[in-house]
Amino acid sequence: MSTMSENELGALSFEEIMDELEKSVSDLENGKLPLSKASEVYEKGMKLAEEASKRLSDTEIKITDIKKAFEEKIEISSQSENDLDI
Amino acid sequence: MPALSVSQVILHLNNLFGYDPILSDVCVIGEVSRATRSASGHAYFTLKDEDGVLDSALFRGGIGVEHLELGAEVFVFGRVSVYGPSGRLQLIANLVEPAGDGILQARFEEMKNKLESEGLFDLERKRPIPSFPSVMGIVTSKDAAAWQDIQQTVARRFPRVELVLAHTPVQGNTAATLIAEAINSLNQVGGIDTIIVARGGGSPEDLWPFNEEVVARAIFASATPVISGVGHESDWSIADLVSDLRASTPTAAAELAVPDLEELKGKLNYYTSQMHLYCSARIDVGRNELKYSVTKLDRALPDLVTHKIRLDDLITRANSNVLHKNELTKEYLRGLAEKMTALAPHTTIARGYSVLQKSLDGKIISRVGDIGSGENITITVSDGVIDAKTVGENMGLGVPEEHQLNLL
């Protein structure tokens, strides 16, 4: 478990981020890590916490109805078909 | 066999019915499917269930005519007879009572037992509800208070979620089928994390669609976890039993579906400060470990200072020994040199003595017998050497002891 790149962080779901963060905290809490490892875990944990609060700052509730959701889905799938043609 | 008239047959039947312990005093349960009132005040209606219909009449003076509403479930007390003019079987009622609750309860129990035995309520089947949903599907009526409650609750707690409303009527005859369709549709949209099936409080009849088998099956078949929030605290529907999580109300369902943002932020802050704390504690531990190691290392080193002092001492002692010996040797040598100077031949010669040597081999002639007649000799004196030759016979002479010593 080394430090994470932006991409790796971005690929995680919020739930995964929270899980990883909780694990980092309990690893540190345990206090048995070698110092170098502890600082690595700390750095990673802080990155996770930062990413999590970044995601939480996005506070826009979006309301749509199922017809629209379906239309969007169809739009997206036809777009991706076009992408394939290119 | 004598032939009977039609009336006789009907009469006979009515006699039989009149004696029959069941048909002569019966309570029938069924749904009112048709009801008319005659000008004379009699009420004619049809009772039905899934498999049959029964013509019924409540004559003027009978009790409970007000319960004869289309679709109502009623208990009808009376007797069965054949009405001659039409030849039809008829339930002659004297009392009608609403059966609603009892019927519904019975149907509920029946449905519950059936689905339970099929494993639709099994706890092992319940799926976890995603803790942090991005998209939620809501099955309810767009006009219902439930929809408003859900939107408000989500906006208050966790406004970073998308709500997809699958609008459906939530009461009435078609509601159950449409609710089931809405659940299926949300599953087809894809990308939906959680589905909430919701309806506010109402009468048992109003809530009935959520007890229908088709709704239960749709919830069971849903690939997306379902939270039910139907009615009030005390209302348990079949939908509640099948769903992955039951909430008592639509608001409670929304609360269970999303985390609380403020709480989450607090949690993040807590985690961050805990990490600071643990990390600095770890650094302190490291520092102490380092201190301890240095001390230990210090102690493990040989005592150089003592060794150095000892070495210096040894060197000093060695030096002084050597110097002392040197001095002694010098002294001794000086003594020797003085002695030698005193004894050196040239010092003696300088005083007037001479040294005789045989020319042949350079042997010192110190006795008469050392040399014969006519032999060549050299005489060393203070300022040179004289070559000479012996003549005559040698004669011993008495030479004083001290001179002999000096020649040595």
Which of B131, B159, B282 has the CB atom closest to A31's CB atom? B282
Distance CA A52, CA B261 (A): 11
Beta partners for residue B246, in sequence order? B228
- Would strands B376-381 and B355-358 be described as parallel, antiparallel, or unpaired? antiparallel
Taking each helix axis from N to C terminus, what angle separates A14-30 and B261-300, rounded to the nearest 10 degrees? 30
Q: Are residues B124 and B224 in the same domain?
A: yes
Quick check: is B269 in a domain? no
pLDDT at B340: 81
Q: Are residues B109 and B255 in the same domain?
A: yes
CB atoms within 10 A of CB B60: 11
The burial of A40, by beta-carbon neighbours within 10 Å (0-12 exposed, 13-18 middle, 19 or more buried), is given as middle
pLDDT at B319: 86
Quick check: is B28 in a domain? yes
The answer to whether A4 contacts chain B (CB < 8 Å) is no
B186, two tokens: 């949300």
Q: Does domain A6-85 have CATH number 1.10.287?
A: yes
Of the residues B213, B233, B259, the one at which a domain ends:
B259
- Across the interface, do A39 and B275 touch by the CB < 8 Å criterion? no
Whether B93 contacts B76, CB under 8 Å = yes
Q: Are residues B73 and B180 in the same domain?
A: no
Measured between CA atoms, the residue of chain B closest to residue A33 is B282
CB atoms within 10 A of CB B118: 12
Whether B93 contacts B72, CB under 8 Å = no
- Would strands B135-140 and B162-167 be described as parallel, antiparallel, or unpaired? parallel
Task: Give the structural domain span for B350.
Answer: 346-407
pLDDT at B406: 45
The answer to whether A25 contacts chain B (CB < 8 Å) is yes
Give Cα separations from B102 to B82, B99, B208, B308 (angstroms). 29, 6, 13, 108
Nearest to B83 by CA among B42, B115, B121: B42
* Residues 6+ away with beta carbon under 8 Å from B69: B32, B35
Whether A52 contacts A21, CB under 8 Å = yes
Q: Are residues B228 and B248 in the same domain?
A: yes
Interface test with A, best of B265, B267, B282, B287 (most A CBs within 10 A): B282
Of the residues B259, B294, B311, the one at which a domain ends:
B259
Whether B216 contacts B121, CB under 8 Å = no
Closest CA–CA distance from residue B298 to any residue of chain A (Å): 23
Low pLDDT (below 70) residues in chain B: 100-103, 393-408
Quick check: is B313 in a domain? no
Q: Are residues B254 and B112 in the same domain?
A: yes
Nearest to B141 by CA among B208, B84, B198, B61: B198
Quick check: is B339 in a domain? no
pLDDT at A1: 47
Quickly state the pLDDT bin for A77 (edges 50, 70, 90): low
Closest CA–CA distance from residue A44 to any residue of chain B (Å): 10
Whether B135 contacts B162, CB under 8 Å = yes
The answer to whether B290 contacts chain A (CB < 8 Å) is no
Which of A31, A39, A66 has the CB atom closest to B185's CB atom? A66
Quick check: is B302 in a domain? no
Give a three-class secondary structure readout of B59-112. Answer: EEEEECHHHCCCCCEEEEEEEEEEECCCCEEEEEEEEEEECHHHHHHHHHHHHH
Sign (positive/negative) of CA torsion B24, B25, B28, B33?
positive
Instruction: State the ipTM, two decimals.
Output: 0.74
The burial of B78, by beta-carbon neighbours within 10 Å (0-12 exposed, 13-18 middle, 19 or more buried), is given as buried
Q: Are residues B158 and B198 in the same domain?
A: yes
Which of A14, A31, A46 has the CB atom closest to B275's CB atom? A46
pLDDT at B254: 96
Whether B380 contacts B344, CB under 8 Å = no
Q: Are residues B63 and B146 in the same domain?
A: no
Q: What are the residue ranges spanned by the domains of chain A?
A: 6-85
Quick check: is B82 in a domain? yes
Q: Are residues B137 and B218 in the same domain?
A: yes
Is the pLDDT confidence value at A68 over 80? no
B356, two tokens: 């005789």
Give Cα separations from B86 to B55, B81, B91 (angstroms). 11, 12, 13
Give the domain CATH number at B15: 2.40.50.140
The answer to whether B151 contacts chain A (CB < 8 Å) is yes
Q: Are residues B351 and B378 in the same domain?
A: yes
In chain B, residues 242-261 whose CB comes closer than 8 Å to chain A = 261
Measured between CA atoms, the residue of chain A closest to residue B184 is A66
Of the residues B219, B237, B259, the one at which a domain ends:
B259
Which of B131, B185, B279 has the CB atom closest to A42's CB atom? B279
Distance CA B198, CA B200 (A): 7
The tally of domains found in chain B comes to: 3
Distance CA B259, CA B280 (A): 31
State pTM to two decimals.
Answer: 0.56
